[in-house]
Amino acid sequence: MEALAVRLSQLDSEAGGAIRVVMYYDTLMRRRVDLSALVRASAGLGECVAGIRLHGTGRVIRCGPDGRPAAAPPLPASSAAPIVLDAEEIGTVWLERPGPANPLDEMVLDRLSIAAAAVLERYGPARTTMADPALIELVISADSDEAARERALRLLGFAAGPPVRVAAVRSLLPLDRIGGLVSPGRLVKAAPLAGVGVILATAIDPARFPAGVRAGVGAAESPCRSWREARTALRFSTERRPVVHHDDLGALALLAEIPRDTARDNADVAAIARLADTPEDLETLDAYCATGSLRRAADLLHLHHSSVARRLEHIAKTLGIELTEPAGLARAGLALTAWRLLDG
C-alpha cells in the first residue's frame, strides 16, 4: 500500500505539472507573443536552452533559461518535436538539457510546437510549402489582372520586388519535398494544377531536382510568362535530360509552337514514330543526336562502336536521312524532338 501511495502521489504531481504547462502556454497565446518570446518563455519554463528551427527559411532561435540568446554551441537535443501545420512538418522545436530529460519535457515540447504553429499562422503566411491551388492559379494565369496577381502573391507570402520563378514538375515525389530541395532556405509555394506540379520561388536551382523528377524551369520575371516557359521546357524533358531550363532551349523552343497535327503529318516525324516501335533503335538515335559522335554514342550506350554503326546504318535507311552528314544529323534531331513534343 505504501508503494502504491507513492506512485499515486507521483502521478498526481506530474498531472498537476502537465496542467500548469498547458495553462502556461494558453496564457502565452492569449498574450499573442511572437516566436522569440515563445522560445524565451519555454527556456525559462524548462530551465534549459530551448530552440526552434523553421525548415522553409532556415531561421533558428535559441534561448537560454535567462531569456538571452544562447551563445554557446548547441548541445545535442535532449528531446525534440516537429512543428506541423496543415499536415506538413514546417519546423522543429527542441530542448537542450545537459542531464536526463525532465518528466514534463515531452509536454513542454508538445505545447511549444502547437503554439509555434499558431504563431506562424497568425503573424504571416504559413511557412508550409503546399498552397491553395486557386491562389497559385491566380499568380500564373494569363487571364489574371496585375492587381489580382499581386494580391495572390502577397497572400502566398511573396514580398513585392523580387521576381517569382516558376517550375512545372512531373514526379511521384511529394511537391513540398521537391520545393524544399530546389530552393533551400527560401519561401517556396507549390500546388498541383491539371496534372502538373507548380512550384513558385524567387530562385530555383535546376541542379537540385532529385532523381526521377521531370521538370521545366521558366526564366521570365513575370509569373504567367515564367509558367508558360516552364510548361514548354517540361515538354522537352527526357529520361536523358530530365530537367530543362527554358533559357537553354534557345530557338528549339519554337518547335513547341508547331501545331500537333502539322508535326504529326511531317514525313520525318512520322518516320520517327515508326522507329519508336523498336526502342533500341530510338535509344541509339537519341544517343547519337545528343553526342554527334558515333564513338561517344557507343560509350553512352555501353556498346561497341561497330554495333552502333550497324544500328545507325539501319536507322538511316528507315528514316531516309543521311545521318553521317551534319544536315542529316540536325534533321534527325529536330524530327526526334518534334515527335517527343507530340506527347508533351
My answer on whether 73 and 114 are in the same domain is: yes
Domain boundary, last residue among 254, 289, 317: 254
Is residue 306 within 8 Å of residue 236, measured between CB atoms?
Answer: no
Higher pLDDT, 113 or 77: 113
To the question of pTM greater than 0.75 for the whole model, the response is no
Q: What is the mean pLDDT of residues 164-191?
A: 91
Which domain, by its residues, includes 305?
A: 258-341
My answer on whether 176 and 228 are in the same domain is: yes
My answer on whether 27 and 86 are in the same domain is: yes
Domain boundary, last residue among 72, 99, 122: 122
My answer on whether 137 and 241 are in the same domain is: yes
Whether residue 128 lies inside any domain: the answer is no
Whether residue 65 lies inside any domain: the answer is yes
55 has pLDDT over 80: no
Whether residue 66 lies inside any domain: the answer is yes
Domain boundary, last residue among 204, 232, 254: 254
CATH number for the domain harbouring residue 311:
1.10.10.2840
Between the alpha carbon of residue 202 and those of residues 149, 186, 205, 220, the distances in Å are 15, 8, 10, 11
My answer on whether 158 and 218 are in the same domain is: yes
Q: Mean pLDDT lowest for which of 46-60, 175-189, 221-235, 328-342? A: 46-60
My answer on whether 250 and 145 are in the same domain is: yes
Whether residue 33 lies inside any domain: the answer is yes
My answer on whether 194 and 236 are in the same domain is: yes
Whether residue 127 lies inside any domain: the answer is no
Whether residue 264 lies inside any domain: the answer is yes
Q: What is the mean pLDDT of residues 174-183?
A: 91
What does the pLDDT look like over 180-208, one tens digit per residue?
A: 899 987 889 999 998 999 999 999 999 99
Rounded Cα–Cα distance for residues 214 and 210 (Å): 9
My answer on whether 46 and 78 are in the same domain is: yes
CATH number for the domain harbouring residue 20:
3.30.450
Q: Mean pLDDT lowest for which of 5-9, 64-68, 76-80, 103-107? A: 5-9
My answer on whether 74 and 13 are in the same domain is: yes
Whether residue 169 lies inside any domain: the answer is yes
My answer on whether 25 and 108 are in the same domain is: yes
> Vertex 19, ends 16 and 22: CA angle to 5°?
155
Q: Assign residue 14 a region: left if phi > 0, alpha if psi is -120 to 50, beta otherwise?
A: alpha
Instruction: Give the ranges where the chain is alpha helix by DSSP (H).
Output: 2-30, 35-46, 105-122, 133-140, 146-156, 175-182, 223-235, 260-265, 267-275, 279-291, 294-301, 305-319, 326-341
Give how many domains the chain has, as a whole number.
3
Whether residue 215 lies inside any domain: the answer is yes
My answer on whether 145 and 74 are in the same domain is: no
Q: What is the mean pLDDT of the chain?
A: 88
Q: What is the mean pLDDT of residues 212-217?
A: 96
My answer on whether 244 and 140 are in the same domain is: yes
